[in-house]
């Protein structure tokens, strides 16, 4: 046992050492590439383009001013708050409808025409009609985020709950599971990876579409500020907002992937 | 469930449930058709019935269809479609050519891909719409800036799909090619391209639908043009018939494009089966 464990230890140790050697090379490369991108951006803009165009040094200098302003935090709160609210509502509704569609195939046949047609439709095409119905107001943004999340979640939940193994159903039957046990005790947990993938997709679309509504319906928020600041020739300030949106989007993505690994470690999807 | 003893009620309910299940199983095909038809009929009936109860905000189905027909005949919509269609096709071609090429190049060089992949993912995750003001300041509002925005929105799935595919080429395939003395050109012709084709095709399938998203976003946000401009005109004057008509029309196009994508995949699957079998 001792020799075995020490043997294993030596093996992993060596592997780890080669791993770190391999990693440093692969880790240094992106840093160099990133610095090179920033340097080229800086040089090209400052030598070729007018002074108001965003450049790395300008963006860094614009950070304190932007972050100190009350307006910035107001924008962050309304936009991100609205996105989170929409994701929560859309995901809850999507899971309910999706489980029902996955378990009752008549319901699936009844709803799938619309769900799939809407899912195929670029949701940005729905923004004009939503503006007409809901108005030039933050409610339009919320409505679009809800739809953006609801559709992928409903589709993936339906796919996930439909695809559960016959064995699970049989075991459930043998143990006398009732319908709600089947839906929420068996189908829903086994569809979790699908559901999280749906929320991930919906979240990304929700962020994009929330910005789209803000710009098209003149709803105050981060997306709106990106465009107004740019129109005021304050591109560096505008870029600070873009960077914040990017950080939010990237961390949402990374967070969802971690969440899925934690929730369903057996699932080996993307 | 009004009368009878508990036991009798239990018995009838059970047999009723099993009869329902048998009915569902035996007549599945007809029930399916009935579900599809009734869902469409119900929606159209509700649309028609409630169409007049919200004033100008919502018009009945027939009014919407008449409006759509009028726009098609008078040439307003065909003209807009011509503009949008050009942008769509150029975007699609760019996505396929640039996406596959860059994906392959990134996959073939480990260091280059390690260097640039994080930025590709960051650009992919960042809401591209927020980059529109920078594109318009640097390049203006004409056709090619639009292509740039449209491509930035829709290129990533095909690029990353190709990259993923090229990276998953089994080591043995490359080793065998090396043992038999393949040069770079033969390696590409005999190993890489055949292996990556299915992945690229999946990317193309996605791109067929996604390029439409890119086209619409570029048209909405870079000085409105094409179909998006017609929609926004309708929105500003609260002409719900016009907006509804175009929304339905765009949805129909989207469904057709997704269908085309699925057709590509169907051919692909058949081709794969014939290649293997």
Q: What is the DSSP string of chain B?
A: --SS-HHHHHHHHHHHHHHHHHHHHHTHHHHHHHHHHHHHHHHHHHHHHHTTTTGGG---HHHHHHHHHHHHHHTHHHHHHHHHHHHHHHHHHHHHHHHHHHHHHHHH-HHHHHHHHHHHHHHHHS-GGGGHHHHHHHH-SSHHHHHHHHHHHHSHHHHHHHHHHHHTS-HHHHHHHHHTT--HHHHIIIIIHHHHHHHHHHHHHHHHHHHHHHHHHHHHHSS--HHHHHHHHHHHTT-HHHHHHHHHHHHHHHHHHHHHHHHHHHHHHHHHHHHH-
CB within 8 Å: B127 and A26? no
For A45, name the nearest residue in chain B, comparing CA atoms only.
B138
For A224, name the nearest residue in chain B, comparing CA atoms only.
B130
> Which residues of A are less than 8 Å from B243 in CB distance?
128-129, 132
Residue found under tokens 């086209």? B215
**Does A120 fall in a domain?**
yes
> Which residues of A are less than 8 Å from B110 in CB distance?
26
The answer, yes or no, to whether residue A111 has pLDDT greater than 70, is yes
Q: Of A133-142, B13-22, B113-122, which one has max mean pLDDT?
A: A133-142
A–B: how many Cβ contacts below 8 A?
A: 152
- Between positions 227 and 256 of B, the ones with CB within 8 A of A are 231-232, 234-235, 238, 240, 243-244, 246-247, 250-251, 254-255
* Interval A104-109 mean pLDDT: 88
The answer, yes or no, to whether residue B3 has pLDDT greater than 60, is no
Residues 6+ apart with CB under 8 A from A230: A238, B133, B134, B137
Q: What pLDDT score was predicted for residue A16?
A: 66
The answer, yes or no, to whether residue B12 has pLDDT greater than 60, is no
The answer, yes or no, to whether residue B261 has pLDDT greater than 90, is no
> Which residues of B are less than 8 Å from A53 in CB distance?
134, 137-138
The answer, yes or no, to whether residue B4 has pLDDT greater than 50, is no
Domain check: are A149 and A249 in the same one? Answer: yes
pLDDT in tens, A240-249: 999 999 999 9
Contact of A34 with chain B, judged by CB distance below 8 Å, is answered with yes
Q: Which of A117, A216, A242 sits opposite B251 (nearest CB)?
A: A117
CB within 8 Å: B254 and A54? no
Which of B38-47, B49-58, B86-95, B117-126 comes out lowest in average pLDDT? Answer: B49-58
- Chain A nearest-CA distance from B251, in A, is 5
Domain check: are A124 and A36 in the same one? Answer: no
Q: What pLDDT score was predicted for residue A98?
A: 93
Written as one string, the DSSP assignment of B65-134 is HHHHHHHHHHTHHHHHHHHHHHHHHHHHHHHHHHHHHHHHHHHH-HHHHHHHHHHHHHHHHS-GGGGHHH
Contact of B133 with chain A, judged by CB distance below 8 Å, is answered with yes
* Interval A32-39 mean pLDDT: 90
CB within 8 Å: A125 and B240? no
**Does A71 fall in a domain?**
yes
* Interval B188-195 mean pLDDT: 84
| DSSP symbol at A104 | -
- Chain A nearest-CA distance from B88, in A, is 13
**Does A57 fall in a domain?**
no
The answer, yes or no, to whether residue A270 has pLDDT greater than 70, is no
Domain check: are A68 and A187 in the same one? Answer: yes
For A28, name the nearest residue in chain B, comparing CA atoms only.
B115
pLDDT band at B89 (very low <50, low <70, confident <90, very high): very high
Answer whether A193's CB lies under 8 Å from A269's CB. Answer: yes
Answer whether B196's CB lies under 8 Å from B115's CB. Answer: no
Domain check: are A100 and A213 in the same one? Answer: yes
Q: What pLDDT score was predicted for residue A2?
A: 42
For B235, name the nearest residue in chain A, comparing CA atoms only.
A128
Which of A3-7, B15-19, B37-41, B49-53 comes out lowest in average pLDDT? Answer: A3-7
* Interval A123-132 mean pLDDT: 90
**Does A173 fall in a domain?**
yes
| Residue of A87 and A176 predicted with greater confidence | A87
The answer, yes or no, to whether residue A51 has pLDDT greater than 90, is no
Q: What is the Cα gyration radius of chain B?
A: 26
Mean pLDDT of chain B: 85
The answer, yes or no, to whether residue A6 has pLDDT greater than 70, is no
* Interval B240-259 mean pLDDT: 90
Q: What pLDDT score was predicted for residue A244?
A: 92
pLDDT band at A190 (very low <50, low <70, confident <90, very high): confident
**Does A54 fall in a domain?**
no
Q: What pLDDT score was predicted for residue A17?
A: 67
CB within 8 Å: A33 and B116? yes
Q: What pLDDT score was predicted for residue A1?
A: 39
Domain check: are A179 and A208 in the same one? Answer: yes
**Does A174 fall in a domain?**
yes
Domain check: are A13 and A67 in the same one? Answer: no
Task: Kindly list the structural domains of chain B, giving each domain's residue range(s) and its CATH number in brackets, ordered by start.
Answer: 6-50 (no CATH), 65-276 (1.10.3720.10)
pLDDT in tens, B141-158: 889 999 999 999 999 989
Domain check: are A237 and A191 in the same one? Answer: yes
Total number of domains constituting chain A: 2
Q: What pLDDT score was predicted for residue B171?
A: 86
Answer whether B258's CB lies under 8 Å from A120's CB. Answer: yes
Contact of A231 with chain B, judged by CB distance below 8 Å, is answered with yes
Domain check: are A26 and A124 in the same one? Answer: no
> Which residues of B are less than 8 Å from A205 in CB distance?
none
Q: What pLDDT score was predicted for residue A4?
A: 45
Q: Which of A54, A212, A246 sits opposite B125 (nearest CB)?
A: A246
Q: What pLDDT score was predicted for residue A145?
A: 96
Domain check: are A27 and A160 in the same one? Answer: no
CB within 8 Å: A242 and B254? no
Domain check: are A37 and A83 in the same one? Answer: no
pLDDT band at A13 (very low <50, low <70, confident <90, very high): low
For A116, name the nearest residue in chain B, comparing CA atoms only.
B255
For B237, name the nearest residue in chain A, comparing CA atoms only.
A132
**Does A58 fall in a domain?**
no
Mean pLDDT of chain A: 86
Contact of B13 with chain A, judged by CB distance below 8 Å, is answered with no
Residues 6+ apart with CB under 8 A from A10: none
The answer, yes or no, to whether residue A89 has pLDDT greater than 80, is yes
Domain check: are A110 and A232 in the same one? Answer: yes
* Interval A95-121 mean pLDDT: 88
The answer, yes or no, to whether residue A269 has pLDDT greater than 70, is no
- Could you tell me the residue range of the domain that residue A191 belongs to? 63-263
Contact of B140 with chain A, judged by CB distance below 8 Å, is answered with no
* Interval B70-81 mean pLDDT: 91
Domain check: are A43 and A92 in the same one? Answer: no
Give the CATH number of the domain where residue A215 resides. 1.10.3720.10
């Amino acid at each position: 046992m001792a020799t075995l464990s020490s043997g294993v230890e030596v093996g992993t140790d060596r592997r780890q050492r080669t791993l770190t050697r391999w990693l440093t090379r692969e880790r240094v490369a992106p840093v160099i590439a990133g610095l090179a991108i920033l340097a080229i951006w800086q040089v090209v803009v400052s030598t070729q383009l007018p002074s108001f165009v965003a450049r790395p040094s300008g963006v860094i200098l614009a950070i304190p001013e932007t972050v100190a302003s009350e307006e910035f935090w107001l924008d962050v709160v309304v936009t991100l708050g609205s996105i989170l609210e929409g994701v929560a509502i859309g995901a809850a509704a999507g899971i309910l409808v999706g489980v029902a569609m996955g378990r009752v195939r008549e319901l699936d046949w009844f709803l799938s025409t619309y769900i799939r047609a809407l899912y195929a439709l670029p949701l940005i095409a729905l923004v004009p009609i939503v503006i007409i119905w809901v108005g030039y107001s933050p409610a339009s943004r919320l409505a679009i985020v809800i739809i953006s999340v609801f559709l992928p979640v409903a589709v993936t939940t339906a796919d996930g709950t439909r695809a559960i193994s016959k064995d699970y159903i049989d075991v459930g039957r043998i143990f006398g599971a009732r319908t709600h046990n089947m839906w929420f005790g068996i189908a829903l947990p086994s569809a979790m990876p699908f559901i999280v993938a749906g929320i991930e997709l919906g979240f990304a679309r929700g962020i994009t579409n929330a910005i789209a509504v803000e710009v098209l319906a003149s709803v105050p928020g981060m997306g709106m500020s990106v465009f107004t600041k740019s129109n005021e020739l304050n591109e560096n300030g505008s870029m600070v907002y873009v960077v914040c949106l990017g950080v939010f989007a990237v961390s949402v993505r990374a967070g969802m992937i971690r969440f899925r690994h934690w929730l369903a470690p057996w699932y080996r999807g993307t | 469930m009004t009368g009878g003893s508990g036991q009798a009620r239990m018995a009838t309910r059970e047999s009723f449930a099993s009869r329902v299940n048998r009915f569902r199983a035996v007549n599945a095909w007809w029930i399916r058709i009935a579900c599809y038809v009734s869902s469409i009929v119900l929606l159209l009936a509700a649309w028609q019935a409630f169409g007049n109860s919200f004033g100008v905000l919502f018009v009945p189905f027939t009014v919407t269809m008449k409006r759509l027909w009028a726009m098609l005949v008078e040439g307003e919509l065909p003209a807009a479609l011509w503009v949008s269609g050009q942008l769509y096709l150029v975007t699609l071609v760019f996505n396929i050519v640039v996406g596959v090429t860059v994906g392959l190049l990134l996959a073939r060089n480990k260091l280059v891909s390690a260097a640039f992949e994080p930025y590709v993912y960051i650009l992919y995750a960042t809401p591209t719409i927020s980059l529109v003001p920078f594109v318009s300041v640097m390049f203006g509002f004409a056709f090619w800036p639009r292509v740039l925005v449209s491509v930035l929105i829709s290129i990533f799935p095909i690029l990353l799909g190709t990259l993923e595919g090229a990276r998953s080429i089994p080591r043995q395939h490359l080793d065998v090619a090396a043992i038999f003395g393949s040069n770079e050109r033969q390696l590409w012709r005999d190993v890489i391209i055949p292996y990556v084709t299915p992945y690229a095709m999946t990317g193309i399938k996605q791109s067929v639908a996604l390029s439409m998203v890119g086209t619409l976003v570029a048209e909405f946000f870079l000085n409105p043009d094409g179909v998006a401009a017609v929609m926004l005109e309708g929105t500003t004057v609260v002409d719900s018939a016009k907006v509804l008509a175009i929304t339905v029309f765009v949805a129909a196009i989207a469904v057709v494009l997704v269908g085309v994508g699925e057709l590509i995949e169907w051919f692909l699957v058949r081709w794969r089966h014939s290649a293997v079998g």
